[in-house]
Amino acid sequence: MKQRPVADLSTLPSFGVGPRSPTWWGTLGFMALEGTGFALAAGAYLYLALSWSEWPLGAPQPNHWPGTIVTLLL
């Protein structure tokens, strides 16, 4: 095993690292969008849960077997 560095990377430009990179900003924007979506979903759930005394609403329970069977077949 070599004990010395294979290449000196100190002379490489640093414009593609950290906040200078477009990928970094894209990832940050994606995380902000996902967080906003989850916050909106949680807010909608809490709004519905607090607005109606009977929650979840009195709909019949769905049949999960067709979806389970199709998932297992895939």
**Structure tokens belonging to residue 18:** 């950290």
Q: What is the pTM of this model?
A: 0.55
Distance CA 12, CA 16 (A): 10
Instruction: Say what the pLDDT of residue 59 is.
Output: 76
Query: Is the residue at 48 inside a domain?
Result: yes
* Single-letter amino acid code for the residue at 12: L
Whether residue 6 lies inside any domain: the answer is: no
Domain with 50 in it: 22-56
Nearest-angstrom CA–CA distance, 50 and 11: 60
The answer to whether residue 70 is domain-embedded is no
Dihedral angle over CA of 46, 52, 56, 60, nearest 10: -150
User: In this predicted model, what pLDDT tens digit does every residue of 19-64 receive, in sequence order?
Assistant: 888 889 999 999 999 999 999 999 999 998 888 887 767 778 889 9
- Is 29 contained in some domain? yes
Asked whether residue 35 is domain-assigned, the answer is yes
pLDDT at 67 over 80: yes
The answer to the question of residue 36 being in a domain is: yes
Within a domain: residue 30? yes
Upstream peptide bond of 5 is cis (omega within 30 degrees of 0): no
Domain assignment present for 34 = yes
Task: Count up the domains in the chain and report the number.
Answer: 1
